[in-house]
Amino acid sequence: MEQISLSHIAITAGILLILTGLWGILTQKNIIKMIIGFSLFDTGIHIVMVGVGYLEGKTAPILDEAVKVKEAAGEIVDPLPQAMVLTAIVIGIGITALMLAYALRLYQKRKTLDIQKFNDLKW
């Protein structure tokens, strides 16, 4: 059997997480559960991005005794996707915090988290 590479496992897991998150956003009625769905979606995208940047058998882009500066280009994985994912994680935290704050206020106003009770904009 052909060996499955590490990054393909990561990308598959990421895609499954993305789909789970999207399913959660689309079907759940509870606002908190929708936010959890969004978080899953977010995490899935991050895992896919890091998986894409991975190179077979290479190591982390940190230069020390293990990775000499001279041979760095041949031994490390791509640092760019990792930097991008860090940015994405921070933005994700910001969005999640905002959504939670809105959920908090909605709950205080209506004493419910059921999205179907919030039909003011429905025609």
Partner 1 sequence: MLKKIFTAAVLGVFALILVNTYGFMGPDQQLNEVATRYAEKGPEEVGAANLVTAVIVTYRGLDTLGEVTILFLTASIIGFFLKTKKEDIQTPVNIRKTSEILETASKIITPMIFLLGVYVFINGHLTPGGGFQGGAIVASGLVLMLLANPLKTVNHKIITVVESLSGFFFVVLGVMGLLLAGGFLDNTFIAPGRFGTLFSAGAIPVIYIFIGLKVGSELSGIVSNMQETQKEEI
Binding footprint of partner 1 on the chain (CB under 8 A): 5, 7-8, 11, 15, 18-19, 22-23, 26-27, 48, 51-56, 60-64, 69, 72-74, 76, 78-80, 82-83, 86-87, 89-91, 93-95, 97-98, 100-102, 104-105, 108
Please give the distance of CA 26 from its chain centroid, rounded to a whole number. 17
Looking at the Cβ atoms of 101 and 117, the one nearer to partner 1 is 101
What six digits make up the tokens of 93? Answer: 């935290």
- Count the Cβ atoms, other than its own, within 10 Å of residue 104: 12
Interatomic CA distance for residues 23 and 6, integer angstroms: 26
Looking at the Cβ atoms of 18 and 31, the one nearer to partner 1 is 18
Strand, helix or coil for residue 13: helix
Smallest gap, in angstroms, from Cβ of residue 121 to partner 1?
18
Smallest gap, in angstroms, from Cβ of residue 53 to partner 1?
8
